[in-house]
């Protein structure tokens, strides 16, 4: 069985874990648009491909799938998730499974207001969000929200172009110079990450690993500690059941005064997933089972609490 990992970038661990799990019973093929993306050199074979925005990109990926007899394909970057899902039929036609969620759900996760509206309409605690700054000012005057707040692009990822704002003047300045911005309530609480796998056959949540984020850097978890809470697991189960995501997802959650708030969802492997894997949550094995037509049995919270993850810098030196 051969797996294709697109836009692998610096996700060396994800490539390593797939290779380790396959254990010679298949190959890991990796792609990137850059020849200096270190993760591609961890794979059994790699391809340098065009940028995902270039014409013919999907044709290039489909050609690789056919040439390398790929069983399953996944991407490690948000914008490509929708592109894959939009072309699902073309992959189905050549017998390749996209390891991910539907186009509608991928688009919902990219659009923070759409995600907010869905969460609110389904009764989940979530950060108040506004695209109309006058509605924000009205709630500010009525005491329904207070500074500081976040001003961020409605569509975006990796915490790019996010500003923490403390006054109206800054809100006005940002809105005057940028389009498609939103204002979001600042949740003052413990940030939590949940690495989850939803079986692609049964559609059930079969694995959930939760961690308290201790240090963040460039939008990713730098240091964290594993923990368990049955109430949180039940919330995640409910969310998965109602939302319809499939495969690997990464959920950002806040604990504010004992209440859980769902913030964002990334329908892919998150940057902090190695913490889950090293604690025994091998989602690569779950993916491979699904690709082999096997349904995974739910094993929620099967890991030890109090295990720290501490990221550190490493380098790859290679003649290309």
Q: Quick one: 222 and 239 in the same domain?
A: yes
pLDDT one-digit tens code per residue, 172-187: 999 999 899 999 999 9
Q: Which domain holds residue 82?
A: 2-98
Q: Reading across the β-sheet that carries 149-153, which strands appear in turn?
A: 129-130, 181-185, 149-153, 163-165
pLDDT band at residue 160 using 50, 70 and 90 as cut-offs = low
Q: Is pLDDT above 70 for 128? A: yes
Instruction: Output the pLDDT for position 217.
Output: 84
pLDDT digits (tens, 9 = 90+) for 212-231: 999 988 778 899 999 999 99
Whole-number pLDDT of residue 157: 62
Which pLDDT score, from 0 to 100, does residue 24 have? 96
Task: Tell whether the model's pLDDT for residue 306 goes beyond 80.
Answer: yes
Per cent of the chain over pLDDT 70 is: 99
Residue 310 has pLDDT above 70, yes or no: yes
Is the pLDDT confidence value at 98 over 70?
A: yes
Residue 145 half-sphere exposure toward CB, CA atoms < 13 A = 26
Specify the number of domains making up the chain: 3
List the one residue out of 233, 282, 240, 232 whose CA is nearest residue 258. Answer: 232
pLDDT value of residue 216: 86
Whole-number Å distance between alpha carbons of 290 and 145: 45
Specify whether 198 is located in the same domain as 300: yes
Q: Tell whether 300 and 193 lie within a shared domain.
A: yes
Residues 141 and 199 in one domain: no
What single-letter DSSP state applies at residue 33?
S
What is the pairing mode between strands 2-6 and 70-75?
Answer: parallel
For residue 74, is it within any domain? yes
- What is the structure's pLDDT at 158? 55
DSSP string covering 256-301: ETTEEEEEEEESS--TTHHHHHHTT--HHHHHHHHHTTPPPPP-TT
**Residue 141 pLDDT exceeds 60:** yes
Tens-place pLDDT, residues 43-83: 999 999 999 999 999 999 999 999 999 999 999 999 999 99
Q: Is the pLDDT of residue 159 over 60?
A: no
For residue 55, count other CB atoms closer than 10 A to its CB.
Answer: 7
Instruction: Identify whether 305 is part of a domain.
Output: yes
Q: Do 175 and 200 fall into the same domain?
A: no
Tell me the pTM: 0.95
Angle of helix 283-291 relative to helix 12-22, nearest 10 degrees? 60
Residue 139's CATH number: 3.30.1490
Identify whether 68 is part of a domain: yes
Residue 86: closest CA among 75, 49, 269: 75
pLDDT tens-digit map of 250-271: 999 999 999 999 999 999 999 9
**66, 173: one domain:** no
Residue 216 inside a domain? The answer is yes
In a domain, 273, yes or no: yes
């Amino acid at each position: 069985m051969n797996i294709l990992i697109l836009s692998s970038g610096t996700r060396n661990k994800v490539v390593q874990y797939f290779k380790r799990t396959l254990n010679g019973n298949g190959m890991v093929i990796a792609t990137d648009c850059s020849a200096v993306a270190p993760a591609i050199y961890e794979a059994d074979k790699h391809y340098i491909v065009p940028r995902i925005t270039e014409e013919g990109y999907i044709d290039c990926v489909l050609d690789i799938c056919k040439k390398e007899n790929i069983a399953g394909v996944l991407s490690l970057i948000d914008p490509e998730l929708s592109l894959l899902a939009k072309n699902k039929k073309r992959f189905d036609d050549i017998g390749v499974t996209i390891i991910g969620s539907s186009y509608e759900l991928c688009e919902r996760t990219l659009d923070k207001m759409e995600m907010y509206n869905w969460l609110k309409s389904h009764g989940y605690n979530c950060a108040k969000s506004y695209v109309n700054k006058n509605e924000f000012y009205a709630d500010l005057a009525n005491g329904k929200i207070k500074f500081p707040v976040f001003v961020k692009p409605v569509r975006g990822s990796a915490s790019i172009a996010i500003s923490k704002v403390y006054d109206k003047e800054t809100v006005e300045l940002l809105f005057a110079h940028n389009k498609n911005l939103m204002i979001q309530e600042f949740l003052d609480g413990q940030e939590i990450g949940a690495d989850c796998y939803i079986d692609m056959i049964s559609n059930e949540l079969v694995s959930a690993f939760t961690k308290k984020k201790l240090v963040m850097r460039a939008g990713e978890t730098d240091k964290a500690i594993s923990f368990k809470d049955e109430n949180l697991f039940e919330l995640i189960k409910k969310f998965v059941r109602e939302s319809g995501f499939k495969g690997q997802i990464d959920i950002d959650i806040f604990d504010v005064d004992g209440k859980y708030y769902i913030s964002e969802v990334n329908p892919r492997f998150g940057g902090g997933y190695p913490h889950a894997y090293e604690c025994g949550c091998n989602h690569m094995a779950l993916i491979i089972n699904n690709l082999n037509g096997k349904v995974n049995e739910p094993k929620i919270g099967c890991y030890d609490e109090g295990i720290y993850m501490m990221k550190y810098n490493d380098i790859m030196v290679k003649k290309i």
